[in-house]
Amino acid sequence: MTLGRRSIHVAALLPCAAVALTLGLLAGCLPCDGGTGPQCVAPDEHKPPPGQVVYYRTNFNDGTTAPLDVYAYGGGTCVKSTDYRDLGSAYSIKCTVPGGTGAAALQAWFGTRQLSSTPRDPALDRDLFEEVRFVLAPGAAGAIGGTSCTSSNGASQFKVHKSVYGQAGSAWNGWAMSVVGPCSDGNIGMFSEPEMWNLNGHAYPWPGTYPSLHEGAVYDVVYRYHRYTAQNCGTIAIWVNGTKVLDSPCWAYMGTTNGSTAGLLFWDGAAYLQNGLAPFVVYTLFAQATNYPVGAAVVTP
């Protein structure tokens, strides 16, 4: 992995501690069969057993976003970068919003585009797991005037994740978003909340992200989605660097399509910047979606 602009050999560090800090953030770690604990290995070395499905998986080693594509507006861009990268990869994808309001997100859109061979909604009556590893670039907090609410950042916020059906706007359909919004939700750092925040705006904070967002460190986040058609409700669970921050009951609005026939869509990276005061930059190192648990996640009880 390359941190800052210096190459660091992970094997020379403590296992899974390329970017420890006090938050204990993990870099490039996946559970290994037959091992006694997490090992730092290349993601491609983990081959799913028969009957398990990998909908997509990439560490961007070829410098492209495939099999994902890019959703951007407001001057947003996503380009290959060597500033940070996952173990075994030559590149990450650097997504930048220059300020103001805009987006620069990696887009995984099931059943269409580069994922046209996948089901439109693989969370229907089964678990769907999404894992993403990313780094907030130095200065990310400054894009919204810091993690505390002040007179200068009253309407500023950014998002690093959003899961919806089609390219939907706010509180229209879908699952969850991961956000920093100091004036809208308080001085709590990064948090996740239902995408249908108009029905449930409770914030689920990520541990150890206030007052510092630990820019330059690796976040390893797993989302589990499951929509029950017979009960007409859905559940979501979220793990951040191995810590479970949310494991919801079956809520009617969780995973609702609100009538949309578009496929499930994930936006990750610099997914949204509102009233930005400076550039917002996110490096995505690794992304995958499967029908079996990955990272710290477990199946729905």
Mean pLDDT value of segment 24-41: 34
Mean pLDDT value of segment 94-112: 98
267 contacts 95 by C-beta, under 8 angstroms: no
Task: Please provide residue 279's backbone torsions phi and psi, each rounded to the nearest 5 degrees.
Answer: -60, 145
pLDDT band at 177 (very low <50, low <70, confident <90, very high): very high
**CA 291 – CA 198 distance, rounded (Å):** 29
DSSP 115: G
**CA 23 – CA 225 distance, rounded (Å):** 26
What per-residue confidence (pLDDT) applies to 51? 87
More confident residue, 7 or 127: 127
* pLDDT at residue 43 tops 90: no
44 contacts 88 by C-beta, under 8 angstroms: yes
More confident residue, 196 or 15: 196
Q: Which domains does the chain possess?
A: 48-290 (2.60.120.200)
**CA 286 – CA 93 distance, rounded (Å):** 9
Predicted TM-score (pTM) of this structure: 0.85
158 contacts 140 by C-beta, under 8 angstroms: yes
Of the chain, the percentage scoring pLDDT greater than 90 comes to 83
Mean pLDDT, all residues of the chain: 87
Q: What is the CA radius of gyration of the chain?
A: 18
In this predicted model, what pLDDT tens digit does every residue of 135-157 receive, in sequence order?
999 999 999 999 999 999 999 99
What is the signed CA dihedral for 238, 239, 240, 246, rounded to 10 degrees?
50
Cis, peptide link before residue 194, omega less than 30° from 0: no
159 contacts 272 by C-beta, under 8 angstroms: yes
What per-residue confidence (pLDDT) applies to 50? 61
In this predicted model, what pLDDT tens digit does every residue of 71-101 receive, in sequence order?
999 999 999 999 999 999 999 999 999 999 9
Mean pLDDT value of segment 97-114: 98
In this predicted model, what pLDDT tens digit does every residue of 201-219 receive, in sequence order?
999 999 999 999 999 999 9
Mean pLDDT value of segment 252-264: 97
Mean pLDDT value of segment 45-63: 83
**CA 104 – CA 75 distance, rounded (Å):** 8
* pLDDT at residue 131 tops 70: yes
**CA 222 – CA 53 distance, rounded (Å):** 16
36-60 burial string, b = 16+ CB within 10 Å, else e? eebebbebeeeeeeeeeeebbbbbb
Cis, peptide link before residue 205, omega less than 30° from 0: no
In this predicted model, what pLDDT tens digit does every residue of 221-251 receive, in sequence order?
999 999 999 999 999 999 999 999 999 999 9
* pLDDT at residue 29 tops 90: no
What per-residue confidence (pLDDT) applies to 48? 56
pLDDT band at 293 (very low <50, low <70, confident <90, very high): very high
Task: Please provide residue 83's backbone torsions phi and psi, each rounded to the nearest 5 degrees.
Answer: -60, -45
* Residue count of the chain: 301
- Token reading at 82: 């060597």
